[in-house]
Every structure is written in structure tokens, then in C-alpha cells.
Amino acid sequence: MSRTLKLTLAYDGSRFVGWQRQADGESVQAFVEEALSRLEGGPVAVHAAGRTDAGVHAEGQVASARVTFTHDAATVVRAANAILPAEIRVLAVEDAPPGFHARFSARGKSYRYQIANTPVASPFLRGYAWHVPEPLDLDAMRAAAAALVGTHDFAAFQSTGSDVSATIRTVTRSDVLARGGLVVYEVEGDGFLRHMVRAIVGTLVDVGRGWRPPGDVRGLLEGGTRAQAGATAPAHGLTLVKVEY
């Protein structure tokens, strides 16, 4: 008799090609599937709430898998973590309803992006924050970020190569925070397009540098193109924080 597991995962994405299996390189998905397959004694397919890109981290990624083994949750957590590399941890396991799917059942996600905004960045932030040495106008960035809240067409913030045709999304929170030498962007919404958060961050940094006015963001939401928005911020500053169901 099969059961559906809901797994909450954390990982340092630095060494991986992303969540999804690739022809070349190590993926988070491959390692998690291998760990569960060893417990199952046969192949196990694992689906994540979000396909994080190469270099992107997660504190609260959620994955689902159908298995037949009967190990309790604590045993699965302990056994999987004994198999997985240290960069990937299973934080929790629970039985989910049969129709549960980590991606399609999700109602919202939250992300955090970190910017090291000091002349010299700490080497301990090298893999977890984008170093922007020049001063940033945080008030201007906050004004631009606030314009993103609501239901909008985020096509200008979607990278090419996506198979998603509908680009309307609802953002419920969009905040720029100062934490010591870090500028932190936190965003929550019902879903995100390919590279959407990183494109938003690139645009907000343009605003902070004085390269564009805060009002540009509203124009981008009203029919702007990807070429008109800011550059895609580096992957290593981004973390998937939480998935809501």
C-alpha cells in the first residue's frame, strides 16, 4: 500500500545545478531521490514545490513522494540524512493526503535575497549575498518594492526559456530591509516566474544606485519588457524561505 510523504528540506545550493535533475552535474532532486530509493528498495520520484536554479539555497523547500515503505517519520528523517550529503538536510517528514503534490498543492512561497552593501564584503557571505559595494538609496528601493504588491503582469521580470504562458501573479509582501551591512529583500506571493525574484532585485538595485527612478517599476508592470528591467541578480544571494499550503 502506497503513501504520500511531505518532506521539508533545507540545502546550500552552491555545489548543485539546481533542484531539478540535469544531464550533467549534481542536482538536489537526484540526491533526495537516491536516499528515498534506498529506503524503498526501488525507484522513487520526488517533486518539489519550486525548481530552484543553480546556486540558489533553500531553508524551507517542500517535496512530495509516493512510497510503500512503512518507516515512521523520525526514522525517515534520520535515515535520509545519513545518506544525503551534508549540504542537504531533511528537516521534517509527515504523511500527506493521497492527492497532495508539493508543486500543485502550494498556495504561496516566500523568498529572501541578501545584498552585502559594504565596501568590503565578509568572506563568510561570499556564497550567500551579492556584493554591491556602492551606497544604495534604501528609501527609493522601498518605494519601488512597494509598487510590486498586488496582482500584476510580471512578464518584464521573467527570463526567456520558460514554458509558462500566464505571467499574472499576486505579490502579498515586498519589503527592503536593512540588517547591519546587509540589504535584504523579502517577497511573498502566490507564485513566481523563472528568475522573477532575481530580476526584481536587479531592478531594485538599479533604483538604489540612482540609475532609474522608483516609478519605473510601475511602468514595467504596465507592459514593460524584460530588456527594460534590471539585470538578473546573481543566484547565490537567493533563498527559498517557505512554502504555504
Q: Which of 12, 24, 53, 137 is catalytic?
A: 53
- Give the DSSP letter of residue 209: H
∠ CA 214-242-27 to the nearest 5 degrees?
Answer: 100
Distance CA 66, CA 80 (A): 15
Pull the grid cell for residue 211. 540609475
**Contact criterion met (CB below 8 Å) for 83 and 35:** yes
Active site residue 53: yes
Length of the chain: 245
Task: Burial-class residue 200 by CB neighbours within 10 Å (0-12, 13-18, 19+).
Answer: buried
Strands (E), 119-245: 130-131, 150-153, 168-179, 182-189, 238-244
Catalytic residue list: 53
